[in-house]
Structures are given as C-alpha cells and as structure tokens.
Structure 1
C-alpha cells in the first residue's frame, strides 16, 4: 500500500536548477557532443583505422623510434603493407582472447555475480546503512556508498534510496541522504579497501599499455590499493562535511511523511547470512594468508617474496574464490541458495551482463595490438616523453596535468574502461619513458574519471536515478540532480588531486611494489 506524501514546497534552488545558466549550457553542450559520439565498438574500429593510416604515413616518411627494451632504433611498420595486413588477419583472434582485461574481468565477475545474486552485497549495504546510529548516519552512508563499486553500477540504484531512508529515520531531509550517497557511489567509484572488478579491469588495460614499452611489464589489481584505501577515509570526511555544511542547509527541513517500508530492518535470515559470511571472510583470509606466507610455499616468488610471485599471478583466481566462498556461505545461511545448480546459473547471468564489454574489446584489442606492432605507440610515447621532460612535467606535475586533461573526455564518454582503453596506450608508455610507474598514471586517470562521473549526461542509468530522486523532489529534473551533485564533484576532485600531490611528493607507494617512479 502506498501512502500519499506531503511534499515541501520546492525552494528557489530547486526551481532554478533547470533554468538556463553557464553550468546548464555547459552540460547541455556536453550532452549534445556526447550524443554524437559513436558506440564504443565503432569508436575503437575508427581508432584502429586511424592507427593503420597513421602507421602507413609514418612508415612512408621513414619514421624511426628507439625501442627501450633493446636500445635499438626501429622503423615504424605499416599496417597497410602486405606484412601488416597478414599480421592483422592472423593475429585478430589472439589479440582478442589474450587481451589482459578479458580473462581477468570475466573470471572475477563470475564470483562477484554469484555474491550479488545471492543477496550478500545488497544485504550488507542495507544492514550497514539502516543500522547506523543517528549520530553516525552520514559517515556510515558515505563509507558504504564509496564501497558500492563492489556491486558495480547496481550500487547506484541500491544504496541512495537506502541512504534517503536512513536520513529520514534520523529526522533529516531524505533528498540530502539520496544525493550524498549518489555522489559517493558515482564520484568516489574507485575508492575502496576491497579489490573490486574495476581494479581488475583497469589493471589489465594498464598492463597491455605498459607492454608497448616493456613486454614483461605487469600491473596487478593491487597496483592502486594503498592509494585507494586511504582515499576511502579522506573522501568520506570530505563528502560528509559537504553534505552537512552545504547540502543540508540548502535543502532545509523535510516536511513530508515516511512510508512504513522506508526503514524496514533486515530480516532474521539476512542477519544470519551476514554473520555466516563474516565468519567465511575471516576463515578464507586466514587460509590464504597461511598458504602464501608458509616458509617454502610454492605461492612465493624468488627469495620468498610475494610482489612477483605465483600468488600475485593468481590473484584474480583468489578473488573469484573469495566471492564464491563468502557468497555461497551467505546463501546457505540466509536460505537464498536452495539448489547447487543456482551457482553456475548465476555465473551465466553475470557473464551475460559482460557481453557488451566483450563485444567492445574485440575492436579495442585490435586497435591496441596494431598500435604496438606498428611501433607507432613507441613513436608517440618517445615523442611525448621528450616533450614532458622538456617542460619539466615528468613526475607528479605531469600526473596532475594529465588528471586535469582527462576531465573533458571523461564527461563525453560514459564508460571509464573504454576511455582508459583509448588513453592508456598513449599516456602509460609516455610516462613510463620518463620513469613514472604505470600504477601512478592509472591512479591519476581514476581520480578524474571517477570525480566527473555524476556530471556525465550520457550515463545510461540517469533515467533510473531521476525516477528515484523524484520521489523526494517531484519537480526535479536533470538540472536539479546536476546542480545538487556539482559541489560534491568539485570537492572530491580537489581533495583527490591534493592527495595525489602529497602522495607523490612524499614518495608513498600506490600499491604493493608500485611507487611514483619505476
């Protein structure tokens, strides 16, 4: 049964949110340009064609570059030559199948998909948000929202309504909870203490980009773990302050009523499942840590190290097993797993969601492989590295500039992985030749890409988000959403850039085995 809500009158800020203005014109302009962009499949097909033409022109001009792996001068090879055409034809399947993000992300998503469909991720988020003490409700909402990337894009529609309910239960404006949670989920998408599918996907793209310069280069999913774990704390504080000092005073008090289901607690079976899952987490981590740290363990590398070891090489498998073990344990205890055939069925569903990604990476893999084989990637990297060095932007200064550069394309292209697939092969080798670790370049990209997410007009989830928001702001539109979330975007981006600056100047590692400089 649905009750009629008494809505407060929209304040001037809500009424003006959709009025013409500089921000509105800018966002509408971005939307128009974004609407004209082709589908990522065709975008990478066009890129591959441009690589082929550019390689032919460079080869005809006799362009050469220095191969840093051998210190030899090598000529640019044309994809449009007979040898290039044979390479493109015979390597297409290998380029696709061996593209690092392909196997990594599919493997990890098998486990995450099971955990999500058995209800573990949703129950964890609901339990954490709705059980938060009134004095801590904002902080808990923000932290859980930041960790929402465990559930990928579904976090956008799961957590913000729960945050609105938690704020409402605390006698606060539910729209403030909704907007704050949405900003944390979307703008803070990369910040987490738990390795998620995003880490696996981006590290695979970074690895293939780094191998343009160093064929032996490896960037693990843990490459940004230290940086992003600290980011969770820093962003949680920044977002909480922005909510309490800016958003809530702007919205004023809530004058509506609550529905009976707004603050519905977890069911007993869900609580039982979460307790069992917590035990499974402790047991799993204990077993894996024992196997990895035991003297003489085959999971260790030379000299007993773990940074370059079978353990790191097998990390995606450990992540798969982690989510499977914890998810299945939750399902058995909560009663959501009633037959074992559900597990592979859920894996099938998880892979179905990845089909658009798989289709896109077919052309993306060809474009990157051609870029590398033709030596055009090395030519661009060496030229760009010389320019960066001459400008004195070969370290943290260059990374800050790169992060600022990413803002515009990030507003135009909704898919962060697609954008990194475009930019990674250019900028990762360029910075590597100036001694900058690929993990640092990846972190600089993630800052801009994540912070700008709430303002991307091409986000396919926007209609759903607007529908959910209009429960608390019936007259609100796209301009309302953008105007309310814009302060969070600015604060998150500024704070994150400051963290990157301090991190680089202090020489802190971005993840195990990955510092600012190689």
Structure 2
C-alpha cells in the first residue's frame, strides 16, 4: 500500500485490495503506461488486420474491417492526428476551462473560507452521504462533474480530519458509477431514449422509448446508491486507508471578519448570477432553450461548462476584491496562471492518454469486441431473466473498453433491443438494464478519460500513488454498485414496480 495507508485495517477485503494496488503500482508511470498501451494497440491492429478480420456493425450494410496502424494509412493517421488527438481531447478543454474558474476561486481563498464556514459546521455523519448524493446529481453538469466534485470532496474530507483519498473516491464514485441516475430527467435520459426510439422505429411496432421511461427506477437508484456509496466509504475504503499521514499538511486559521464579508459578497454575486441565468432561461424565445422551448437537450446543457466557469470567476472576483486579494485587473489572470501551473503534470499525462484512446477507436478494435460479445450473447440460447442479467454483465465488461455510454448503446441497442423485443421485453426495461451496467464500471477503466484526471488530483495528497492505488480505491464501489443495482432491478421485476410511467418488464 501507499505509505500513508500502513495503519489501515487488515481485513480479508483490505488484503485483496492491497494486492490489487501492489500489482497496479508495479505498472510503469501513467505516462509511460499509456504510451505502452498505444504501442500495444499498434501491434494488435497489425496482427488482427493481417487476418483480414471484418464484422458487420449494427445498422450498417457494409462490413467494417480492423484497420492496421502499421500501414501507409495508419502511419499517416498517427502523424497527422497526433496534435488533434491532444488538443481535441474533450476532457482537456473541460478541465482547463473549469480550472480557470475554480482555480481563481481557490487561489483567492474563497473555497477554503466556504468550507470552513459551512461544511465544517455540518453534522459529520452526513458528510459522506452528501458527497455521494451530490456526485450522483452532478451528471446535470455533464462531464464537468468529473473535474469539480472529486477534488472538492477530497478537500472536504481533509478539512474535517478524514482521509482525503476517501473523499476523492466517494466523489468519483458518485459522479462516475452513479452517472446515469438522477432525481430529475436529464440529458442522459434524452440521449439514450433517442437512440432507443430510433432503433424501435425500424420495427413494425408502435412501441417506443421516451426520456421519462426510466424515471422511477433512476429516482430510487439515487437514494439506494447514496446509502450504498456512503457505507462502502465508511466501512471498506476509510478503514483500509487508515489515518492520513501524507505530505500535505495545512492548518486552517479561524475565519476572519474580512473573509466573512468576502463570503457574503460572493454569495450575493452567486445569487445575482443565478438570477440572471434563470431570467435568460425562462425568457420567452430564450437562446438557451431548444427550438421547441425545452431544456433537454438545449444550448444551456451544451454550454454548461462555460456557464460553470463564469460562475466561479464571478464569485471568485467578488470574494477577492472584498478581501483585497485582487487589487487590480492584473491580479485575476495572475491567479488563473497559478492555477494552470498546478495542471502541468496532468497536461503531460493527457498527451499520451489521448493518443492511446484515439488509436484504439481508429482501428475499430473496440467496436469489433463489442459486436462480437453481443453476437455471442444473442446466440447463447439463455432465456428468462437470466439473459437480461447476462446482458448486464456483458455490458459492464464492454464498458471497460468503450467509455462513452451513448456510443456503446448505439452499438448494442440495434442488436439487443430487437432481440429482447421478440422475447416480449419492453425496450425501456432493457435500456434501464443497460444503464446500470454502463455506469457501474466507469470508475475502474483507464479508457475513462477522467480516470487520469482523478489520478492527477490524487497525487496532490499522495505523490507515491499510482494507477493501482486508484483502481484499488474504486473497485469496491464499481463491483458493489453493480451488484446492488442488479438486485434493485430484480426487485422491480419480481414486485412488478413500473420503471417509468406505464413501463413494465414486458410489452403490453
């Protein structure tokens, strides 16, 4: 284990996770690991392509071939796309933009003052539940939640005298493994149901899927996962980590009167910002709504990252001016620059990770594995609810190599929605089964582009931590969330609880 964790518990589960961490940390430095994986993809693509492997992608009539990177086309692609793979890597832009805002708020002292004035005074027993719950709801901010919630959760745990990596793990679990659940209909519901409806439209049936068809199931899931995640954190993760004895040592001084005024003015700025945003949203013919006047999807949701960035910049400036941390316009970019310096290691790491993920997608190896796995299950001859559970497990496994939930559903739905439709299962029920599998294993796969971001945050508290440390932290959440979610699915099935308005397990 990492040095800071030697005083943790020595249970059977802890010993297994310690072994996972030890093995994982024997791997090369994350930058070299992703560079090695990129080389491995190059070699695999060459070997598989040499056998002229092709497959039929769902919805396509023309066979798709595995493309070799050891070819004229492949070499040209690697050279020409290298910079685009890096600068066009979606998480990079999200992280840099969000950190311009959060970094400013942090450097002027707003986040520390906010934590000392609010969270530190909250009942200690509710903090873990709140972190998981907020993490799950974070999918309203889309991918930005991966950048905001885990590091703030680590900071909260550190400030209340608990292990910061436990907080980071809880935040990452809520955001990642609980990504598909929410208490309101979100963009995820719209995207997945849109794909499902399109597939069902190819059949001679009036059965379709709408954004609210999984609402009841996902609403219950939020409560169940919040409790489950908190128990995992307090009963497994924290006891294993033990007392934090890392390099970061910081004593917090009592909140000063000028800081209280700064926090008050930041709150006024936040209310003004949110109020103005609500006025624009509810304004007739608002540019932030879609053509039909709706919010899912909408320019508001698509532009959530800059909206969040500007929010933190607004409150950070209000606090900084009040506390005299910001004395001129030059202070603002100076603080932002300091925040960007803290991301230098992440930027280096993301260069290698971006190449690996791009190569994997370009070669079609991931799609081939997904289609092959789906065909195997389709031909397995399993019947009853057992075939649905097998579908869940297959999807959870495929999610380790295809992170995008919408991309994976676009691959699986043409096969499985039709297969299960002819077995008399409602497509919205199958979509719910897909969602629990797709979310659960988000946090234990390096194919998750935010995996390396969380790893970078983790190194702030433990410089010796590696990929094995993060996987060992997150493995209990991924496996237990999947198990608990499957059990919840079975409860809904056997008790006849609707998954959404009028949506049961079977058709009719």
Instruction: Tell me the TM-score normalised to structure 2 length.
Output: 0.63
Q: Does 1:92 align with 2:82?
A: yes
The answer for the alignment partner of 1:73 in structure 2 is 63
Would the aligned equivalents of 1:447 and 1:496 in 2 still touch at CA under 8 Å? Answer: no
Q: How does 1:91-130 map to 2 (within 5 A)?
A: 91-130=81-120
1:132-153: CA deviation from partner (whole Å, max 9, x where unpaired): 4xxx442257636976974754
Residue aligning to 2:328: 339
CA distance in structure 2 between the aligned counterparts of 1:125 and 1:233, rounded to whole angstroms: 25
Structure 2 partner of 1:476: none
Post-superposition Cα deviations, 1:25-83, rounded to whole Å, max 9, x if no partner, equal 43443343123211222222222222222222222211112244644212222111112
Distance in 2 between the 1:16 and 1:267 partners? 36
Alignment equivalent of 2:441, drawn from 445, 452, 456: 445
1:325 Cα deviation from its structure 2 partner: 1.0
- Contact 1:396-1:501 at 8 Å conserved across structures: no
Paired residues for 1:61-460 under 5 Å: 61-68=51-58, 70-132=60-122, 136-140=123-127, 143=130, 150=148, 152-153=150-151, 155-156=153-154, 158-164=155-161, 178=162, 183-191=166-174, 265-390=254-379, 398-399=391-392, 423-425=401-403, 429-435=407-413, 443-446=439-442, 460=459
2:103 and 2:336 in contact (8 A); partners too: yes
CA–CA separation in structure 1 for the residues paired with 2:53 and 2:344? 39
Q: Contact 2:131/2:171 (CA < 8 Å) preserved in 1?
A: no
Counterpart for residue 57 of structure 1: 47
Partner Cα separation in structure 2 for residue 96 and residue 352 of structure 1: 18
The 2-side partners of 1:369 and 1:33 are apart by 26
CA–CA distance in 1 between the matches of 2:84 and 2:232?
48
Does the 8 Å CA contact 1:115/1:121 hold for their aligned counterparts? yes
Conserved? CA contact 1:378–1:429, under 8 Å: no
Indicate how the Cα distance of structure 1 residues 75 and 160 shifts in structure 2: closer, same or farther if over 3 A, else same: closer
Instruction: State the alpha-carbon separation in 1 of the partners of residues 331 and 218 from structure 2.
Output: 34
Match of 1:257 in 2: none
Give me the whole-angstrom Cα distance separating, in 2, the residues matched to 1:190 and 1:238: 11
Cα distance change on mapping 1:330 and 1:67 into 2, 3 Å:
same
| Cα distance in 2 between the residues matched to 1:226 and 1:329 | 41
* Kept after mapping to 2: 8 A contact 1:114/1:343: yes
Are the counterparts in 1 of residues 170 and 233 from structure 2 also a CA contact under 8 Å? no
Q: 1:246 and 1:297, CA in 2 relative to 1: closer, same or farther beyond 3 A?
A: closer
> What is the aligned partner in structure 2 of residue 498 from structure 1?
484
Distance 1:361 1:333 in 2: 37
> How far apart are 1:320 and its partner, in Å?
0.9
Q: CA deviation at 1:23?
A: 4.9
Residue in 2 that maps onto 1:513: none
- Counterpart CA distance in 1 for 2:222 and 2:67 is 45
SS class of match (1:306) = coil
Question: Cα–Cα, structure 1 residues 239 and 63, in superposed 2: closer, same or farther, change >3 Å?
Answer: closer
CA contact (8 A) 1:273 1:330 kept: yes
Return the offset for 1:319: 1.2
User: Relative to structure 1, is the Cα distance of residues 97 and 29 closer, same or farther in structure 2, using a 3 angstrom cutoff?
Assistant: same
Kept after mapping to 2: 8 A contact 1:400/1:444: no
For 1:243 and 1:294, how far apart are their aligned partners in 2?
A: 43
Cα deviation for residue 296 of structure 1 reads 1.8
How is 1:7-86 mapped onto 2 (pairs within 5 angstroms)? 22-23=12-13, 25-68=15-58, 70-86=60-76
Task: Supply the distance in 1 between the matched residues of 2:72 and 2:235 (Cα, whole angstroms).
Answer: 65
For the structure 1 residues 499 and 263, does the alpha-carbon distance in structure 2 shift closer, same or farther, using more than 3 Å as the test?
Answer: farther
Q: Distance in 1 between matches of 2:75 and 2:275?
A: 52
Structure 1 residues 445 and 426: alpha-carbon distance in aligned structure 2, compared to 1, 3 A threshold: same
For residues 118 and 464 of structure 2, the distance between their equivalents in structure 1, rounded to whole angstroms, comes to: 21
Contact 1:306 1:312 in 2 (8 A): yes
2: distance between equivalents of 1:65 and 1:112? 46
Q: CA RMSD in A?
A: 5.1
Q: 1:266 to 1:144 in 2, by over 3 A?
A: farther
Which whole-Å deviations, capped at 9, do the CAs of 1:68-114 have from their partners, x for residues lacking one?
46442122221111121112111211222212112122111111111
Within 1, Cα distance between the matches of 2:406 and 2:30? 21
Aligned length: 406
TM-score, normalised relative to structure 1: 0.62
Segments of structure 2 that go 5 or more residues without pairing to the other structure are 136-146, 180-186, 199-214, 239-249, 414-430, 466-471, 493-497, 502-508
